[in-house]
């Protein structure tokens, strides 16, 4: 074989091996913590290290949360070589030091930038520096990059995000690429080949109305989600104080039904028992992290009472009853029909029979004792019931 042919072949195999690595990230929706919802621009080395410590000590790491992500405002300038410069007062040991610390805890490290000239908070952003920044991030040990869409002028989203994606590829470090374009350019239609997750809406807020509004906007997006590429209805507000415990349970359940990325946005160092019982509900998390990667569909829509269905691996499924109204509802739930729900919608060969399943309430952590196949269930305002049909 001629020498140059051999060189080309080796280069190809090298690139193919790396491309392969990239395909193996975010196989299930990424889980972690992000600074923005609670702390905004008030980020620092001590804050992020404290959150990493708390992620381990609170049991979050054991429950699957792994990325610790600094959002906007860590960056202040570019130096004479165009290198991005971190805020030295707030990050006195530099970003690599922080990444090393987070890695030493068995966690992964994420950072934020933006496709435009400036970030949304007006800090230096990535435009024109994509490959350079990707190399810097890889050198620092970044595992996750959230990439925003402010100050983009006439930039075209798909090509802008593709440039950064190619920069990350060229830096040869598998980095989860989180596209934050807010949904206005329908990223679900093009982002599956570009990033691992893409925001589908504007920003979440710590309020019932905004949260439930965002949820309802996810209704037609199920077919775009799957292993390696997820719809992102924004980060969690659980524990931030603007909703009731029941509303936070609803928020968390709905996000898990949607196979959404689960980025906690609260103070992990000071969590109430209620907040912990939500963020650490492993049975609900298991729906989100199911290996099939199917996003729930709205199976019955009666306006403010809806039934959502998530197909799980092993022919199991989860059902979420949602009362988004301000009044209590008593609903007759036909579990035999719900057992068949998959068969009806996906044309399975034989109908799935209720007697082959245990129905488990994932908030009560109990199996239902069904005397008949239907039963009346009370749903308080703004609450859910989440059931898993587990094969006997």
Instruction: Return the number of the residue (36 or 308) whose C-beta is nearest ligand GAL.
Output: 36
Number of residues engaging ligand GAL in binding (CB under 6 A): 11
| C-alpha to C-alpha distances, 3 to 17, 350, 361, nearest whole angstrom | 21, 59, 64
Instruction: In angstroms, give the least distance from the CB of 145 to ligand GAL.
Output: 12
The reply on whether position 71 binds ligand GAL by CB under 6 A is yes
Long-range contacts of 378-381 (CB under 8 A, 24+ apart): 378/328, 378/329, 378/330, 379/305, 379/321, 379/322, 379/323, 379/328, 379/329, 379/330, 379/331, 380/246, 380/323, 380/328, 381/323, 381/325, 381/326, 381/327, 381/328
**Are the CB atoms for 362 and 388 separated by under 8 Å?**
yes
DSSP state of 252: H
Instruction: Return the number of the residue (166 or 203) whose C-beta is nearest ligand GAL.
Output: 203
Given candidates 47, 56, 118, 121, which one binds ligand GAL under the rule CB under 6 A?
A: 121
Give the range of 116-124, 221-229, 302-310, 349-357 binding ligand GAL by CB under 6 A: 116-124
Q: How far apart are CA 166 and CA 147, in angstroms?
A: 13
The reply on whether position 206 binds ligand GAL by CB under 6 A is no
Given candidates 22, 33, 36, 169, which one binds ligand GAL under the rule CB under 6 A?
A: 36
Active site residue 203: yes
Options 148, 206, 234, 290, the catalytic residue = 148
Active site residue 334: no
Q: Kind of pairing, strands 262-264 and 297-302?
A: unpaired
Using CB atoms, what's the residue nearest to ligand GAL? 120
The reply on whether position 258 binds ligand GAL by CB under 6 A is no
Options 203, 205, 304, 334, the catalytic residue = 203
Q: Which 145-184 residues touch ligand GAL, going by CB under 6 A? A: 148, 150, 180
DSSP state of 244: -
Binding residues for ligand GAL (CB under 6 A)? 36, 71-72, 112, 119-121, 148, 150, 180, 203
């Amino acid at each position: 074989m001629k020498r140059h042919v051999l060189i080309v072949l080796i280069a190809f195999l090298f690139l193919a091996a790396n491309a392969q690595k990239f395909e193996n990230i975010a196989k299930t929706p990424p889980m972690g913590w992000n600074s923005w919802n609670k702390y905004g621009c008030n980020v620092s080395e001590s804050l992020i290290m404290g959150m990493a410590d708390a992620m381990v000590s609170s049991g979050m790491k054991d429950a699957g949360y792994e990325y610790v992500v600094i959002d906007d405002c860590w960056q202040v300038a570019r130096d004479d070589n165009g290198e991005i410069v971190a805020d030295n007062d707030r990050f006195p040991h530099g970003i690599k030091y922080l990444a090393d610390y987070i890695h030493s805890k068995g966690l992964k490290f994420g950072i934020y930038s933006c496709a435009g000239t400036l970030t949304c908070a007006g800090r230096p952003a990535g435009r024109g520096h994509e490959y350079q920044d990707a190399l810097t991030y890889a050198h620092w040990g970044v595992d996750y990059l959230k990439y925003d869409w402010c100050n983009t002028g006439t930039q075209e989203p798909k090509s802008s995000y593709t440039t950064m994606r190619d920069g990350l590829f060229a830096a040869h470090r598998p980095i989860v690429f989180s596209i934050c374009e807010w949904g206005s350019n329908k990223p679900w239609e093009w982002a599956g080949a570009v990033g691992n997750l893409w925001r589908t809406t504007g920003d979440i807020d710590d309020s019932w109305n905004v949260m439930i509004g965002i949820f309802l906007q996810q209704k037609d997006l199920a077919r775009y989600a799957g292993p390696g590429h997820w719809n992102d209805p924004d980060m969690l507000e659980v524990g931030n104080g603007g909703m009731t415990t029941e509303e936070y349970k609803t928020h968390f359940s709905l996000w898990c039904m949607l196979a959404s990325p689960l980025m906690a946005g609260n103070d992990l160092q000071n969590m109430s028992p209620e907040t912990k019982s939500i963020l650490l509900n492993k049975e609900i998390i298991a729906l989100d992290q199911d290996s099939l990667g199917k996003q729930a569909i709205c199976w019955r829509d009666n306006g403010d009472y809806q039934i959502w269905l998530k197909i799980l691996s092993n022919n199991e499924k989860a059902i979420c009853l949602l009362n988004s109204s301000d009044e209590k509802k008593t609903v007759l739930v036909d579990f035999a029909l719900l057992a068949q729900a998959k068969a009806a919608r996906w044309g399975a060969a034989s109908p799935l029979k209720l007697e082959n399943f245990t129905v488990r309430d994932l908030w009560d952590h109990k199996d239902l004792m069904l005397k008949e196949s239907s039963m009346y269930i009370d749903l308080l305002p703004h609450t859910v019931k989440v059931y898993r049909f587990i094969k006997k």
